[in-house]
Amino acid sequence: MKIAICIKQVPDSWAEKKMVNGLLDRINVDAVLNDLDEYAVEEGLRIAEAHGGNEEGAANSVTVISMGPERATEAVRKALSMGANNAILISDPKLAGADALTTSKVLASVILKGEFDIVICGTESTDARMSVVPAMIAERLSCAQLTFASAVTVDPAAKKVVITRVTEAGVDEMFGQFPVVVSVVEKINEPRYPSFKGIMAAKKKTIEVLDLSAVGISIENAWSVVVDAAPRPPRAAGIRITDDGGGGDQLVKFLTEKKLI
Amino acid sequence: MSCVLILADFIGGKNTKTTAELATAAARIGDVCAVVLAPTGQGAAYAAALVQGPISTVLVVESDGFAAHGVGAAADVLTQIIAQKNPAAVLIASHAFGKELAGRTAVKSGSGIITDAVDVAADITATQMVFGGSTTVHSKISHGTPIITLRPNSITADLKSVSPTIEMLSFDVAESSKKSTLTSSQPPVQGGRPELTEADIVVSGGRGTNGDFAAVEAFADSLGAAVGASRAATDAGWYPHSHQVGQTGKSVSPQLYVACGISGAIQHRAGMQTSKAIVVINKDPEAPIFEIADFGVIGDLFAVLPKATEGVNARKA
Ligand SMILES: Cc1cc2nc3c(=O)[nH]c(=O)nc-3n(C[C@H](O)[C@H](O)[C@H](O)COP(=O)(O)OP(=O)(O)OC[C@H]3O[C@@H](n4cnc5c(N)ncnc54)[C@H](O)[C@@H]3O)c2cc1C
Ligand SMILES: Nc1ncnc2c1ncn2[C@@H]1O[C@H](COP(=O)(O)O)[C@@H](O)[C@H]1O
């Protein structure tokens, strides 16, 4: 099986984020591998390992695909050190500030060329927080969309993927035939830490860096524009009390005064 | 006046109160047409549920493909409706299904998309809160039909009674949109409490409950509230995954959010920071959740909650 994992480098969740000219300032913050994508990497590796592994000459390959600035190689290296074999980074100055429509177009083109059987994504990037890229990739590839999976089973012979997902409407089981786009929730597994051996091996792996002309597509301007962005006034400091037996009553008094109940 | 499409928000066959909120926002822009995607034979019953909010027309499409093939099938039909009606905008509820539907429809119809809006103005400018609620952003869509997802509970719905015109439409779902297939679906165990994302009040428990949610549930029931949980609580199996609030759980914006035994990790805050009022009960005065609390009690939840529950019940008596 050819497995692709889409990963994104994002500003550290704890870093203070600022807008510059209507775009997130990505230069002056620490960047990390989107932690929700670590579950995608782990799941991809587990699927490969459960069906003959992904070492040289094995039946499967695991490729990480990322779109981002040059320095996203750090995040890509981390995925490689976890155990992925190959990596493709799409990097082009024209992609700065790309929105989900553009991102999905770029990723879908690369995925189509690579003829992958299974594409695995995280459920959301912790910076954009849209949770739409996996669905958009599925739309662009006209393939099965199996998103928000909390369990994934693959039957390589039947080219079939079955997932379990929790939705607003309950617990669903669904399936699709290769090629499929899966996104995984953080309940699905416990991502491994890169081993020393893995880190050393990752240093020798090559990252294929492509610009837009190498991908062979052109992109339009962003499809939505920021009119303005302003920091919100910080929340006014609240009331704080220490419970001395009357905390519950004071709480109810507060709720009543504020007409919250 | 141009028409504005909203997708009537049915979850598990029931119309949610988000539909009226979508209609209220859409009515600022134009004449509201509510799209109902119903199982075969149930279109009329679904449409009959839309009696509140400024809706002029209900457009009903029936297909068993919606349940069987999910987002792909819904996006296919919604795109055909957009092509036929040429609306000024399309508004959809901002939950997992709504966002994915918006995403696929945007690709299909060549439109721009904005997700997680907390407000939409008459000129189709969307307001979003980003970076954990610390920054307000206004944006507009510059391409195609603006497709915007609106967070449930963000705007006050106009609940006027209406009897909209009902129009039955007929569209086929393309084979290419039927690539994923649902094989089974178990409805959630609701236990009579309101749905988390729709509730006016949410009471959540975290690791501090130590697995015992009885006090949290009792307080929630005294307030008619929904019950939420932190990831620590759902990971431990103390409460169902579907009740997780936060980045990888549900986003809620109730009038009142009560966090009990929750430290306030950034991933938890991401799902509740836009709540109108936040009340905290935590033993540790250093817990970061206090930074965003309007009212904080430093104390043991097992002592504070029963007293508070008693107090609320006494007020009602
Ligand atoms: C990728 C990723 C995604 C995540 N997504 C989410 C998410 O969606 N939602 C989420 O909630 N978390 C999420 N997390 C986890 C998050 O980082 C925290 O680990 C989690 O929110 C902690 O839960 P907690 O506050 O219940 O537990 P803790 O951080 O352990 O806090 C427990 C609190 O309870 C207090 N306490 C203990 N006993 C009592 C008592 N008797 N009375 C009163 N107070 C008491 C303690 O003082 C402490 O402050 C995510 C993490 C990652 C890495
Ligand atoms: N620039 C990117 N490069 C690679 N994968 C991405 C990128 N952006 C988003 N993704 C994938 O899509 C998922 C959802 O992202 P989003 O829709 O931005 O919340 C992420 O968890 C990634 O798996």
Provide the ipTM: 0.91
- The 10 Å Cβ neighbour count of residue A197 is 10
The average pLDDT across A17-45 equals 80
Give domain A2-215's CATH architecture.
Answer: 3-Layer(aba) Sandwich (3.40)
Q: Within an 8 Å CB–CB cutoff, is residue B303 touching chain A?
A: yes
Q: Where are the domains of chain B?
A: 2-175, 199-314
CA distance A43 to A38: 9
Q: For chain A, what are the domain ranges? A: 2-215
Q: Residue B112: which of A224, A240, A258 has the nearest Cβ?
A: A224
- Taking the C-alpha atoms of residue B193 and residue B187, their distance in angstroms, rounded to an integer, is 14
Q: Which residues pair with A228 in a beta bridge?
A: B138
What is the architecture of the domain spanning B2-175?
3-Layer(aba) Sandwich (3.40)
Cα B22 to Cα B27: distance, rounded to the nearest angstrom = 9
CA distance readout (Å), B185 to A151, A174, B70: 15, 9, 12
pLDDT over 90 at A233, yes or no: no
Q: Please state, in angstroms and rounded to a whole number, the distance separating the CA atoms of residues B263 and B134.
A: 19
Mapping DSSP to helix (H, G, I), strand (E, B) and coil, where does residue A19 land?
strand
Kindly report, residue by residue over B192-208, the tens digit of the pLDDT: 899 898 899 999 999 99
- Span A233-245, average pLDDT: 88
**Cα dist from A37 to A10, A96, A138, A246, B96, whole Å:** 10, 21, 17, 46, 17
Per-residue pLDDT at A61 exceeds 80: yes
- Same fold flag, B2-175 and B199-314: yes
Q: In one letter, which amino acid is A117?
A: D
Chain B environment of A133 (Cβ under 8 Å): 103
Burial degree of B122 (CB within 10 A; 0-12, 13-18, 19+):
exposed
Q: Which of A182, A165, A201, A176 is nearest to A78 (CA)?
A: A201
Q: How far apart are CA A114 and CA B37, in angstroms?
A: 36
Select from A145, A62, A46 the least CA-distant residue to A104: A145
A133 phi and psi angles, rounded to 5 deg: -60, -45
**What's the rounded Cα separation, in Å, for the pair B91 and B5?**
6
Indicate whether B36 pLDDT > 80: yes
d(CA B267, CA B229): 12
Q: What is the pTM of this model?
A: 0.92
| Ligand 1 atom with least separation from CA of B233 | 26
Q: Among A35-49, B72-86, B263-277, which is the least confidently predicted range?
A: B263-277
- Tell which B residues from 151 to 190 touch A, by Cβ distance under 8 Å: 176-177, 179-188
Residues within 6 Å of ligand 2 by CB: A 6-8, 34, 36-37, 40, 65-68, 100, 103, 107, 121-122, 124-125, 128-134
pLDDT at position B310: 97
Which range has the worst mean pLDDT, A86-100, A204-218, B187-201? B187-201
B121 touches chain A (CB under 8 A): no
User: For residue A229, what is the enclosing H or E element?
Assistant: strand A224-231
CATH 3.30.750.210 fits B199-314, yes or no: no
Q: Please, what is the average pLDDT of chain B?
A: 95
